Amino acid sequence: MTEWDVLEAYRDVIHDAALRYGKGIPLNDSMQIAREAFLCAIRIYRSGYTKFVRYADRVMYHRLRWCRIKNNRIRREESLCLDRPVGEEEDAPTIGALYTAVPDFAERVWFVDFMERLDEDVQKTAWMIVDRYTKEEILKIRKLSLIEWSWQINLIKEAWQNYHDHKELCHLAAVKSRS
């Protein structure tokens, strides 16, 4: 089996990753980057760590994200802003605003920790929101119904509130223990 045969066998996985993680990069370029990352994942994968497809997805994600960041450095600052409302709904989530509103490194680490604690399926939607995909793009790429979309948005909001409350309790306990 050649590398091309392997890429053909996993074409849907690679295409899905290119669409989800390669926003802002032309599709042909993001497909090429995803293919290269997939082949890299084959070469460095060690069984027992995780399922291969999940591992390859993470490798493609990191490679495409790095390329997108590198590509965005050329653009004006406004195009990088995550502080826009997401969707047209009045109560649309403002995850991007939460991420950019807090300037210090520790808060961003908390945010990434929060995202990684979400269910894998919901996490994909949340990162797409942070990456400024529109509601319609998310519904199409993730193949979500409006009910699933609404459920995931509510779950993200509730999880954020619970996580934020927990973080505040940890902070108060740390302050109290220093006294």
What's the pLDDT tens digit per position in 35-61?
999 988 888 887 777 788 888 898 998
Q: How many domains does the chain have?
A: 2
What is the residue range of 175's domain? Answer: 84-179
Sign of the torsion angle spanned by Cα atoms 34, 38, 41, 43? negative
Residue 18's alpha-carbon distances to 3, 34, 38, 102, 109, in angstroms, are 18, 6, 11, 30, 26
Q: CA–CA separation, 134 vs 45, rounded Å?
A: 33
Q: Which residue has the tokens 């009910």?
A: 147
- Residue 42 structure tokens: 């084959």
129 in the same domain as 71: no
89 in the same domain as 71: no
129 in the same domain as 56: no
Q: Minimum mean pLDDT among 27-31, 86-90, 157-161: which range?
A: 86-90
36 or 169, higher pLDDT? 36
Which of 33, 54, 80 finishes a domain?
80
* pTM reported for the whole predicted model: 0.43
Q: CA–CA separation, 57 vs 37, rounded Å?
A: 9
Q: CA–CA separation, 85 vs 92, rounded Å?
A: 7
Sign of the torsion angle spanned by Cα atoms 143, 3, 71, 107? positive
160 in the same domain as 98: yes
What's the pLDDT tens digit per position in 56-93?
898 998 888 888 777 665 444 443 344 444 444 545 44
